[in-house]
Amino acid sequence: MKELRDWFQKNKREFPWREERTPYKVWVSEIMLQQTRASVVIPYFLRWLALFPDVRALAEASIETVIKAWEGLGYYSRARNLHAGAKEIVAKFQGEIPSSREDLESIRGLGPYTVGAILSFGFQQKAAAVDGNVTRVVARYFCIEEDVCKTDVKRKIQKRAEELLDLNEPWVSAEALIELGATLCTPKPRCEVCPLQKGCSAYQQNKAEALPIKKQEVKTLELIRSVAIIEVDGKILLRKGEAGKVMADLYEFPYFEMGKERWPQKKILETIQRELGLEVEFVEKLPEVKHTFTRYKAYLYPIRYQAKWLQDMKSYSWVPIEELARLPFSSGHRKILLFLEENKK
């Protein structure tokens, strides 16, 4: 695939994870790049390496520190898996990321794509790293008119992707496939400037835009929540997400599901009294916040309240206001925290 290689060498984008590559840098960058645009990842990647320069540093860090470093990237299970994976690597492989597929697949959080990326880019072995971009390129190049979400079709895509790799320096063509899918062979393809145009079966049959075929995506569900920012004696009430839940290890203000319509103030006050056992007084409303996570879109309606006294709360903690900035918050509640900080100024 000389055309692909030549195109890549001329057009590849510059990213910090492409400089002085190590298996650890490849691992971290590829996990961050899942579900997230490269431009967003850059500052997170650089900050992560400053905090956790190697596997041992990551393994020895507290989960709270790790989640805080990830704050804002979303899909926090990625950060938790990185942390757990680092601990496994220290325990099982003396802190060195293994170079065999079998060993890599035994590490928590490493799926087929990440394993392929580490083998290819980190250890320069012949391995295809098949993500959504590569799936799109391969499905079009070979005109695969089957549901690419099916297991047997995924295996076919993997095999076909490996066929496109060069014998010499296959890791270069492996990355070129990813780059092609990210920049030219996008959902709306730019076939007129694609280096693989001549050999692309979907292009020849005028089917490029119709591929790949995917099963219908899961419908997004809407949540309407009342968020209570309750203050007393310079402290604010928070709850930490439980292990195993979507928001595990992330802090949030108390909130209540309102159903399809916003509640009147009287009902919110009654709910705070009933659910939290607190007597509070209204202070002010804060701007609405939209918060998307997994398959949900949440509409948050935050209101500040003043509690009449400080009391112990089951499943909640009273946190001094000056300590809030160091805690990891879910993205929606972090936006609310920013409104609070602006108000204080």
**Residue 81 covered by a domain:** yes
Check whether residue 117 and residue 188 sit in a common domain: yes
- Alpha-carbon distance of 97 to 45, in angstroms, equals 18
Query: What confidence score (pLDDT) does residue 217 get?
Result: 67
Give which of 315, 58, 15 is closest to 67, Cα–Cα. 58
Query: What confidence score (pLDDT) does residue 51 get?
Result: 97
Written as six digits, the tokens of 254 are 């108390």
SS3 for 118?
Answer: helix
CB distance 264 to 45 below 8 Å:
no
Check whether residue 80 and residue 46 sit in a common domain: yes
Give the pairing type, strands 221-232 and 296-307: parallel
**Residue 175 covered by a domain:** yes
Q: Does pTM surpass 0.85?
A: no
**Residue 216 covered by a domain:** no
Check whether residue 230 and residue 89 sit in a common domain: no
Q: Pseudo-torsion of CA 102, 103, 107, 109, nearest 10°?
A: -40
Per-residue H/E/C for 35-96? CCCHHHHHHHHHHHHHHCCCHHHHHHCCHHHHHHHHCCCCCCHHHHHHHHHHHHHHHHHCCC
Q: Which domain holds residue 271?
A: 221-344
CATH number at residue 25: 1.10.340.30
Check whether residue 178 and residue 261 sit in a common domain: no
CATH number at residue 318: 3.90.79.10
* Enzyme catalytic residues: 30
Check whether residue 230 and residue 181 sit in a common domain: no
Instruction: Walk along the chain (345 residues) and give the pLDDT tens digit of each residue.
Output: 789 999 999 999 999 999 889 999 999 999 999 888 999 999 999 999 999 999 999 999 999 999 999 998 888 889 999 999 999 999 999 999 999 999 999 998 899 999 999 999 999 999 999 999 999 999 999 999 999 999 999 999 999 999 999 888 999 999 999 999 999 999 999 999 999 999 999 999 999 999 999 886 667 889 999 999 999 999 999 999 877 777 788 999 999 999 888 899 999 999 999 999 999 999 999 999 988 877 888 999 999 999 998 888 888 999 999 999 889 998 899 999 988 887 765
SS3 for 303?
Answer: strand
**Residue 36 covered by a domain:** yes
Check whether residue 165 and residue 245 sit in a common domain: no
Q: Which of 210, 241, 259 is a domain's end point?
A: 210
**Residue 215 covered by a domain:** no
Total domain count, the chain: 2
Q: Which of 162, 191, 210 is a domain's end point?
A: 210
Written as six digits, the tokens of 260 are 């399809």
Check whether residue 152 and residue 246 sit in a common domain: no
Check whether residue 20 and residue 59 sit in a common domain: yes
Check whether residue 181 and residue 282 sit in a common domain: no
Check whether residue 150 and residue 235 sit in a common domain: no
